[in-house]
Chains A and B, each alone.
Chain A
Amino acid sequence: MSKRKTIIDEGDLITMLQSKDERGFSILYDNYSSALYGVILKIVRTEEIAADVLQDAFVKIWKNIEGYNRTKGTLFTWMLNVARNTAIDKIRSQDFQNSQRNQDLDSTVEIIDNQANSQFDIDAIGLKKVVENLRPEHRQMIDLLYFQGYTQAEVADEFGIPLGTVKTRVKAAIVHLRQYFVEMILVIWFGILDKWI
């Protein structure tokens, strides 16, 4: 999606970031901002707040990059979690709750406009297919955990579902997503091969 991504070895990028090289941050931003922004936007819903949260998230990433340990997971997953947590903290904060309550007609219209626009986005169409492929109860689990910041125990509590069932559904949802991504790659390959042969 981004036109300005730089191809760089993740190890090299981390070395640059951990020695506080400004070029490293610039590459980091170009390579990951659209992914992080998309997830943040999905959580906070409005572009204005998403921009603020993205800024907070990048400040945290920059400050805590020394604490990131490569053996414990990819840089991308670590950054996604920082961004998600920042966004979830935001929607749970008092001023966000108040602003939602006091939302006037104008900003409601803006939100609806944004949602309508996103339906013409090719990425959003692709996403729809992924999500439609999930069973509703699996999709709900992923959304609660991923975008609402629930723990599995909290989901069980809130919805009166046994914890075991929650775990099974999360597992099934992730297995399903995994299969879907593999299929998608195969479909793309066959599409290419079909043109060749």
Chain B
Amino acid sequence: MNTKEYIESGILESYVLGITTAGESAEVERMASEHPEVEIELEAVRGTLENYALQYEKQPPAALKSKIMAAVFEEQPQQNTKNNIVQLNNTKPQKSTFSMVASWALLALSIGANIFFFNNWKNSEEKIVALESQNQIFAQENKAIKASYQEEIAVLQNPDFKVIKLLGQPDVSPNSTALVYFDKNKQEVYISALDLPAAPKGKQYQFWAIVDGKPVDAGMIAGTDNILKMKSFAKPVAFAISLEDTGGSTTEAGPKGKIYVMGAV
């Protein structure tokens, strides 16, 4: 039987409880002296059962001590002479000093370990708080994106919307494109799928509707990621996007910058 099996056999518990036979006890003592791991396990079982017993600690009646002392010393009243008094200080002074030093060292070690674990725990709590707020931000972003996609799907699935492709102007930006969704009945206008060069600093794209042969301001383009709802028109014939100074131009002044994309209804 190896030591692991021996430990798991339950014999150590029986030994500490004092219910092993003399032969078994001798065996446990032999195993503990030969195998440190058995010794350690034995100490642990002993410590646990001692702690268990201490859970039930209860002060006996005060008067009991003198009664028990009387009963114990009744049989050998004259035996406790001065000869039997032990000079404690001469017995093991080194061991006591060593124990003191060892126990202080262990205490210091234990306090150190506890501070270390405590700090770890505090750090973990702070991280959790940070992660929670990050998580909330993600949730909000997610909600916004979902709303935007739902809006886009609603537009795409509505048969009343007509899709108009705006194509890049040959001299300015031949490869640029954009899509306009136009609902004639409700006169709603959306733009999406913008493929335009990034606007330089101080510039912004502006959307125009051509109504009665004149360009009418249809709103500034805030971003290129989502579908955007623009101003409504009764009878547009074409749509266009131009690059303007930030803030855009007015209907009266018309587009000042170059037209990048354009498409007829």
Contact = CB atoms under 8 A, between A and B. Distances in A.
B interface residue count range (under 10 / 10 to 19 / 20 to 34 / 35 or more): 35 or more
A96 interface: no
B155 to A, nearest CB: 57
Nearest to B52: A177
A42 to B, nearest CB: 5
Contact of B55 (A25, A62, A127, A174): A127
Interface string B57-69: 1111100110111
Given A85-B18, A193-B115, A80 B53 contact: yes
A44 interface: no
B198 interface: no
A149 B18 CA distance: 10
A166 to B, nearest CB: 8
B72 A58 contact: yes
A87 to B, nearest CB: 12
Contacts of A59: 68, 71-72
Interface in B16-47: 16-19, 25, 29, 44-47
Nearest to B64: A51
Contacts of A170: 10, 13
A116 to B, nearest CB: 15
Given A1-B59, A33-B60, A190-B118, A55 B67 contact: yes
B225 interface: no
B80 A21 contact: yes
Interface stretch (B84-92, B128-136, B137-145): B84-92
Contacts of A105: none
Interface string B64-101: 11011101110010011000111010011001100100
Given A15-B86, A51-B61, A77 B72 contact: no
Interface in A26-65: 26, 29-30, 33-35, 37-39, 41-42, 47, 50-51, 54-55, 58-59, 62
Nearest to A193: B118
B64 to A, nearest CB: 6
A1 B44 CA distance: 23
Interface in B214-233: none
Given A11-B95, A174-B45, A177-B48, A41 B18 contact: no
A73 B46 contact: yes
A12 B59 contact: no
Contacts of B84: 19-21
B19 A151 contact: yes
Contact of B80 (A20, A34, A126, A151): A20
B64 A181 contact: no
Interface of A: 1-2, 9, 11-12, 15-16, 19-23, 25-26, 29-30, 33-35, 37-39, 41-42, 47, 50-51, 54-55, 58-59, 62, 71-74, 76-77, 80-81, 84-85, 121, 123, 126-127, 130, 142, 145-146, 149, 151-152, 166-168, 170-171, 174, 177-178, 181, 186, 189-190, 193-194, 197
Given A9-B92, A35-B56, 18 more contacts: A9-B99, A19-B84, A19-B85, A33-B59, A34-B59, A50-B60, A54-B68, A73-B16, A74-B50, A77-B46, A130-B55, A145-B13, A146-B53, A167-B9, A174-B13, A174-B48, A181-B51, A189-B114
The 6 nearest A-B residue pairs measured at CB: A167-B10, A38-B56, A81-B18, A38-B58, A37-B60, A127-B55
